[in-house]
A and B are shown apart, each in its own frame.
Chain A
Amino acid sequence: MARSHTGTGAASRGKIGGLLMASPPIIVAAVFVGFPILVAIAYSLGHVGGLNRTIATIARGQHTVAAWDQMSLGAYRDVFTDQRFTHDLGVTIIVTLIATLAVTALAWVIAVYLRTTPEGAWFRSGVAKLISGLAVVPMFIPVVIASWAMLTFYAADGFIRSLCADLGFQGPTWGYTMVCVAIGLVWTNLPFATLMITSGVQSVPDPLIEAARDAGAGLLTIVRTVIAPLTIVPTVIALTFTAIGTLGAFTMPYFTGPNAPSMLGVDMVSYFRSYNRPQQSVVMAVVVFAVAAVFGAFYVWANFRSAKDSGRV
């Protein structure tokens, strides 16, 4: 009797303690992230009073409402009837998908290469270590500098073209094109995905792989039936982080991309700063937020599944 009493007491104390420990980050996120998001969404629906008054005095082309219980979809109509936006949204989503898939595929190749290096193969293990080390380098180079380097590398008088010219043929000019943007985004996002997926693949127990090998499975079969199912959670996490990061990218497309079509990150800044249309800029942010939320749902699902697998839920 007494024992069970203390048991529940400890459990409820643990729950409250857990809640207290979790609450500072939740409060910070709610005040500094959640609240501004709500204010911005209210602004996009035409509420220009209160905290939105400062921005509303400077902005032009606004749609406003008179009372707090009304809302105006005028700014949304502005944005969605603008062909430039629908076009740019399409381009942004396509670039995001291409970059995300390329990043994940590259990270997987690196991870599998590293994992399946047999013991004693000193040359291959050296190469594997070098590649995994190099893949993390972009994390330590600022994106502005990287995009500038990328641009000069693929420019009309850049390395690729010069090399092609020496070999006697016309190389492609990728500077100021979406190809350059996609390459740049793969470059910037590769380190995180590689760290994530490599660590997932490394944690697959040796006996499982050896058992499969003993049963006569080839590399592809081992990857497909043993490693992949055990690494699905880190892969989904890498996928969602890369997708969300790419979706809102600004620096890479701004420096290395074409003027039109552009990615939404660039559009938002232009609308906000150059066209003096902050309301329409916020509408785009809401759209990006909604698309990112779809990717975010995968992340939550993956986290939940990993918690379930380890018996925490």
Chain B
Amino acid sequence: MDRRRFIALAGVSAGAATLAACQGNGPGAATGGDNAGSGKGGANSLVVYAGADTNIQDLWTKTLIPGFKKATGITVTFQFDLHGQNSDQILNKIAAATQQKKDPGIDFLESMGDRAGAAGLLADPTGKVTNLSEISQDVLATVEKNAIPYRGSAVLLAYLPSKVSQPPKSLDDLLAWIKANPGKFAYNSPDSGGAGDSFVQTVLSKYLTPDVLKQMQTGYHKDLESKWDQGFTTLADLNKSMYQKGVYPNGNNGTLELLLQGQISMCPAWSDQFISGRASGVVPKDAKALQISDPSFTGGATQCGVLSASKKQDLGFKLANWLLEPEQQAAIAKAIAGFPAIPMSKLPSDVQSEFADADPGNLRPGFNSDMDSDMKSQWQQKVPGH
């Protein structure tokens, strides 16, 4: 083979490899297709975007969308984005469309209402979603502007009963256990997933007074961030007791995988991911999960919202209101082990008993999203490798 042909061949294969690598990453990877704008499909249809795991996809495509169609006759086109990988682009697209007063091609956000709400992209649901009155004021106080909380989840402590016979019940016990069993605990880096983020927030909250904590949950106060120092010192001290002397895997599933391989015995995990993972085999079948106390791990409501740029806001509010009805809340609880947003007393007794231990009414809210961004950045500065 002469040199020119050789180089040409190399060039072609490198190009092909690059092209192949680019596939499946663009915003168009969402199912439902991005040509399914709300302009198409008639006046009685709605485009819902969800950036989540497959359990949410199943919940919507198998239960909620057919149910909503049956109840109201409205067709829903579901744009699904696995793990919300394209959520940044989607949010930018919505922001751009809102500024230019154009149709963003999406009417309703299944999740991400917190980020869209903070950026002022949601329409005001007051008076249009009557079931909002069912949701507790404490929860409503933590959601972003115009966002609607419709299901919840919390971070729990997942453990292997075969390795840990007496799991810690409080944060102090947990910290003591980590030091007594070096290398057997891991949490994912907070910038890569909510479970590790919650662990970090919980340790920081241990050293905060209730009023300071309240301020951090509801607003952005940069001057209060110095109060995190003690918590970060505690976390940095834990480095040598962590998995592989200070390795923080990337992503919520990074730690669950170590748990599955038996490399660690305990890790923080999302309640819904844990329960659905146990069914699919990503989480060991015999693993258990519990909520700790003083303070508990954070949990929160998944916030949905109707886009202010949408031309079909009325249909969107109708969907939001319908989601908050007891029947749908019970369906969500059964399908994905999601905590109901409305009081437990409104739900059937079998759902009530299933959630008796998880105490879903007592979701400890996390930091405000801007505080959380800063916290992730400071964690990266102060904890690993120190």
Q: Measuring CB to CB, which residues of chain A are less than 8 angstroms from any residue of chain B?
A: 53-55, 57-58, 60, 82-84, 139-140, 142-143, 155-157, 173, 175-176, 192, 195-196, 198-200, 202-203, 254-255, 258-261, 270-277
Contacting chain A: which of B89-97, B267-275, B327-335? B89-97
Asked if residues B381 and A82 are in contact (CB atoms below 8 Å), the reply is yes
Report yes or no: A176 in contact with B191, Cβ–Cβ below 8 A: no
Select A55's contact among B20, B92, B374, B384, beta carbons within 8 Å: B92
A sample of 19 more A-B contacts (CB under 8 A), given A58-B119, A196-B7, A273-B88, is A54-B92, A57-B95, A57-B99, A58-B91, A139-B17, A156-B244, A156-B263, A157-B263, A195-B6, A195-B10, A199-B3, A255-B250, A258-B385, A259-B189, A261-B385, A270-B380, A274-B192, A275-B191, A275-B376
Residues of B near A196 (CB, < 8 A) are 7, 10
B136 within 8 A of A: no
Residues of chain B whose beta carbon lies under 8 Å from any beta carbon of chain A: 2-3, 6-7, 10, 13-14, 17, 20-21, 88, 91-92, 95-96, 99, 115, 119-120, 189-192, 244, 246-250, 261, 263, 370, 373-374, 376-377, 380-381, 383-385
Minimum CB–CB distance for B188 against chain A, Å: 10
Q: Closest chain A residue to B13 by CB distance?
A: A139
Chain B residues contacting A276 (CB-CB under 8 Å) are: 370, 373
How distant is B85 from chain A, measured CB to nearest CB, in Å?
A: 10
B263 and A176 contact, CB distance less than 8 A: no
Given A199-B6, A260-B384, residue A57 in contact with residue B119 (CB < 8 A): yes
C-alpha spacing A103/B95, complex, angstroms: 44
Q: Tell me the minimal C-beta distance from A220 to chain B in angstroms.
A: 24
Pick from B88, B95, B385: contact of A259, CB under 8 Å = B385
Sample (10) of A-B pairs whose CB atoms are under 8 Å apart: A58-B95, A60-B373, A83-B381, A155-B263, A157-B261, A200-B3, A203-B3, A259-B189, A260-B383, A260-B384
User: Considering only CB atoms, which chain B residue lies closest to A157 in the complex?
Assistant: B263
Which residues of B lie under 8 Å from residue A58 when comparing CB positions? 91-92, 95, 115, 119
Per a CB cutoff under 8 Å, which of A142, A156, A202, A274 touches B191?
A: A274
Return chain A residues, CB-CB under 8 Å to B91: 58
Alpha-carbon distance between A142 and B19 when the two chains are bound, in angstroms: 11
Which residue in B7, B119, B380 is a CB contact (below 8 Å) of A84?
A: B380
Q: Are A192 and B14 in contact (CB under 8 A)?
A: yes
Choose one: B115, B119, B374, B384; the contact of A275 (CB below 8 Å): B374
In Å, the complex CA distance between A195 and B246 comes to: 39
Q: Are A270 and B3 interface neighbours, CB within 8 A?
A: no
Task: Report Cα–Cα, A198/B374, bound state, in Å.
Answer: 49
Task: Take A261-B385, A270-B191, A274-B191 as given contacts and tell me if A175 and B377 are in contact as well, using a CB distance cutoff of 8 Å.
Answer: no
Most chain B CB neighbours (cut-off 10 Å) among A199, A254, A258: A199
Q: Which residues of B contact A258 (CB under 8 A)?
A: 246-247, 384-385
Which residue from chain B places its CB closest to the CB of A138 in the assembled complex? B17
Give the shortest distance, in Å, between A45 (CB) and chain B (any CB).
Answer: 21
Taking the closest CB of chain B, its distance from the CB of A21, in whole angstroms, is 18
Q: Which residues of B contact A272 (CB under 8 A)?
A: 88
- Determine the chain A residues whose CB is within 8 A of the CB of B376 once the complex forms: 270, 274-275
Q: Which residue of A lies closest to B369 (CB)?
A: A276
A271–B191 alpha-carbon span in the complex (Å): 9
Q: A57: which B residues are within 8 A, CB to CB?
A: 95, 99, 119-120
